[in-house]
Amino acid sequence: MLLVLLALILAMGGVMLLNKALTPEYGLDLAGGTTVTLQPITPDGSDPSEESLNLAVNIIRDRVNGSGISDAEVAIAGDNIVISVPGVGQEEVVKLVGTTAELRFRQVLAIGAGAPTPPGEMSTQAPTPSASPTATGGQGTPAPKPSATAPKPSETAAPSPTGSPAGRGLSSALTDPSPAASAQPGKGATPSAQARQNGTQNGTGAARQGKGATPSAAPSSPAPSTSATPSAQATPPAEESVAGIDLGGIDEAVLKEFQALDCSKKDRGQGAQDEPNKQFAGCSDDGSVKYILDKAAVTGTAIDSAEAGQEPSTGEWLVQLSFKGQGPEQWTKVTTTAYNSQEPRTQVAMVLDGVVISAPVIQEPITGGRAQISGGFTLETATELANQLKYGALPLKFEKGSIDEVSSTLGADQLRGGLIAGAIGLALVVVYSMLYYRGLGVVSVLSLAVATILTYQSVVLLGHFAGFRLSLPHIIGLIVSIGITADSFIVYFERIRDEMKEGRRTLRAAVEVAWVRARRTILIADAVMFIAAVVLYFLAVGGVAGFAFAMGLTTLIDIVVVFMFTKPFVALLARLKFFAKGHPLSGLDAERMSVQPVAGPKTVSQEA
């Protein structure tokens, strides 16, 4: 046991060294942090309702502190929302919390090139959307590969050459997640779609310019018959379907909007203002493609859970969704409709905050209420999107206000004072233990030392890997928990002394018998603490949850210390003559326990 514990401590120490994590991460009150002010924007410029602000605060709090242990604070300030996150350089938080994350699934009705593109430029890089001047890597995707016009018939994980989300696919998690399902290019099909568009529509300047690109797209297309090719050339039916383009069902106003839409402009996102009950003209998030989309078929509120995960065969990061309520039904319906439609209406677009983040071709109706978004994600971006989707959409759109780095709310003097006083208190505990328990005091002091080491290591490791932030209340809580740890072996020692008082067994036997009874008490009492910690951790939010986490942690450490250190150590000491013979300094001497050599119970009753 002792060796196991030693190994545990050394292992944790090793991990700490390997990760160069030697000090805990501190909370807002001790380390300061970054304060971000978000200003809500309403469509008509009116003040946001208090209700929607409160809702936004709750969602932001979940997003920024989903696990509840990072000690972040979110407050309403006037009409603004102020977020305080511990630690400096937390600008990425702004992105995480400020995004509305209004997700809608809409069937694609028509597609066009995102921007008016000079024909010359188009011809060099056509037919992929990478020709668009605004094409950015977005979402941490790989850099464009200029040579990618050559089709890769079976490579699926590699999106279109832009490396943009164009290559993102969507497939049912329940159906075989074969590459074909997710690799069918969504936006990759754009040029041909554009061609169709032009064929029936003598459109705007943008459309005419796009027309110029079409011929160059066609010749360079090797047109492989497999649908798995990620590049734009992969849509052989393009020419046939040009004539078959159907503008039916498209709202005139939306069509005009679509024609006027220039995705190369910076502010192409329409924010949360896309009405779910209306058709919508929007851009892909790299600006290379624009879409006319049908009414929302499924909205983000139908998302039950969202997790970042990896495609088992390719290792590609993706976001897995499952729907709830009406969601699965709606999802089956829209995928069935899309499957039975003509190009480009076989695509279902996923619109996040008014921007199309992916528009995969539906290979088959997807039942079962699960879906996955794949392509071009990294662990971070997949997790970020999953969190945004999981905790729901903000009811308001926000503009990023000021970002300030703030110092700690407590002076350094407070922390120092707390630590010094705590150290004095612990020293008193040590003195008291030694005076009262003599030899056994050594055990209690060593147990406390082990508990302290384990606690420190846990806090450091949790800070490094789980974002646990130590605040002043946590520190005080940890100091108090030392009392609880101490109680565990006080219970045990008193039991040993009870056994010894009965005077009929050796110390070695007493240590074992007392342990059986003390163990039950310790477990029941610790269970109470642990229930308190678990309930509060899961039900409370903000600092309360963080504190509950620390409470649960110390309770576990208490059990570890008592079971793996105190008990084995006492058993070890019991073999020593010093303790077994009841030396006056051992804390187990007969005189101090008023044990007469003859019979314990009788003596007790006489004195009582």
Partner 1 sequence: MAGLVSRLYRGEVNVDFVGRQKLWYSLSAFLLVISVAGLIVNGLNLGVEFKGGSVFSFKAPSATIEQVRGTIQEAGAHQVIVQTTNNGWRVTTESLPEQEVTAVQNAVTKRFGGDVTLQVIGGSWGGQVADKAVIGLIVFMLAIILYLTMAFEWKMALAAIVALIHDLVITAGVYAWSGFEVTPATLLGFLTILGYSLYDAVVVFDMIKEVTAKLGTTSKVTYTQAANDALNHTLIRSLNTTLVAILPVAAILFIGTTLFGAGTLKDLSLALFVGMIVGTYSSLCVATPLLVTLKEREPRYRKIAERLAATGGAGAKTEGAKAARQTVTAGAAKAAAADDKRKKK
Nearer to partner 1, 483 or 584 (CB): 483
Binding-site member from 324, 504, 508, 575 for partner 1 (CB under 8 A)? 504
- Residue (67 or 178) nearer to partner 1, CB: 67
Q: Report which of 150, 224, 227, 151 is spatially closest to residue 183, judged by C-alpha positions.
A: 227
Nearest to 300 by CA among 45, 571, 99: 99
SS3 labels along 38-57 = EEEECCCCCCCCHHHHHHHH
Token digits of residue 477: 């809580």
Size of residue set near partner 1 by CB under 8 A: 97
Nearer residue to partner 1 within complex by CB, 91 or 275: 91
Please report, for residues 122, 225, 598, the alpha-carbon distance to residue 215 in angstroms, rounded to integers and kept in the order given: 11, 20, 111
CA distance 153 to 231: 9
Shorter beta-carbon distance to partner 1: residue 220 or 554: 554
User: Interface with partner 1 by CB under 8 A: which range of 97-105, 125-133, 138-146, 484-492?
Assistant: 484-492
Q: Does 490 bind partner 1 (CB under 8 A)?
A: yes
Stretch that binds partner 1, among 247-255, 256-264, 311-319, 516-524 (CB under 8 A): 516-524
| Residues in 542-581 that interact with partner 1 by CB under 8 A | 542-544, 547-548, 551
For residue 442, give every residue at least 6 positions away whose Cβ sits within 8 Å of its Cβ, in sequence order, or none: 434
> What SS3 class is residue 281?
strand
Using the rule CB under 8 A, which residue among 421, 466, 576, 585 binds partner 1?
A: 421
Using CB under 8 A, which residues numbered 239 to 258 contact partner 1?
Answer: none
Q: How far is the CB of 309 from partner 1 (least distance, A)?
A: 29
Compare residues 364 and 404 and give the one whose CB is closer to partner 1: 404
Question: x-or-dash pattern for partner 1, window 390-419, by CB under 8 A?
Answer: --------------xxxxxxxx-xx-xxx-
In whole angstroms, what separates CA 75 from the centre of its chain?
A: 21
Three-state SS at 360? coil
472 part of the interface to partner 1, by CB under 8 A: yes
The answer to whether residue 426 forms part of the interface with partner 1 (CB under 8 A) is: yes
Q: Is 263 or 491 the residue whose CB approaches partner 1 more closely?
A: 491
54 binds partner 1 (CB under 8 A): yes
Question: Measured from the CB atom, is 16 or 476 closer to partner 1?
Answer: 476
Site for partner 1 in 518-547 (CB under 8 A): 520-521, 524-529, 531-533, 535-536, 538-544, 547
Supply the minimum distance, in Å, between the C-beta of residue 42 and partner 1.
19
Question: What does each C-alpha distance from 40 to 72, 189, 195, 358, 414 come to in angstroms?
Answer: 20, 37, 41, 27, 36
What does the per-residue mask of binding to partner 1 show for 77-116, with x meaning CB under 8 A? xx---x-x--------------------------------
Of 177 and 587, CB closest to partner 1: 587
Q: Determine, following the binding rule CB under 8 A, whether residue 608 of this chain makes contact with partner 1.
A: yes
Q: Does residue 585 touch partner 1 according to CB under 8 A?
A: no
Task: Choose, by CB under 8 A, the member of 60, 64, 69, 73 that binds partner 1.
Answer: 73
Binders of partner 1 among residues 154 to 183 (CB under 8 A) are none
CA distance 484 to 470: 20
**Do residues 408 and 115 lie in contact, with contact meaning Cβ atoms separated by under 8 Å?**
no
Q: Does residue number 442 form part of the binding site for partner 1 (CB under 8 A)?
A: no
Please calculate the CA angle 227-185-142 and round it to the nearest 5 degrees.
125
Other C-beta atoms lying within 10 Å of the C-beta of residue 40: 19
Contact 168, 186 (CB under 8 A): yes
Q: In what order do the strands lie in the sheet with 348-352?
A: 280-283, 289-299, 103-113, 348-352, 355-358
Residues ≥6 apart with Cβ < 8 Å to 520 = none
Among 4, 428, 466, 576, binds partner 1 (CB under 8 A): 428
Query: Which amino acid makes up residue 311?
Result: E
Cα–Cα distances in angstroms (integers) from residue 114 to residues 47, 141, 262, 274, 564, in the given order: 34, 19, 6, 18, 65
Shortest Å distance, C-beta 566 to partner 1: 14
Full strand arrangement of the beta sheet holding 317-323: 170-171, 370-377, 317-323, 303-310
Return the residue of 164, 332, 433, 455 that touches partner 1, per CB under 8 A. Answer: 433
By C-beta, is 251 or 487 nearer to partner 1?
Answer: 487
DSSP 368-390: SSEEEEEEEE-HHHHHHHHHHHH
Q: Does 484 participate in binding partner 1 (rule CB under 8 A)? A: yes
Site pattern 5..44 for partner 1 (x: CB under 8 A): ------------------------x--x--x---------
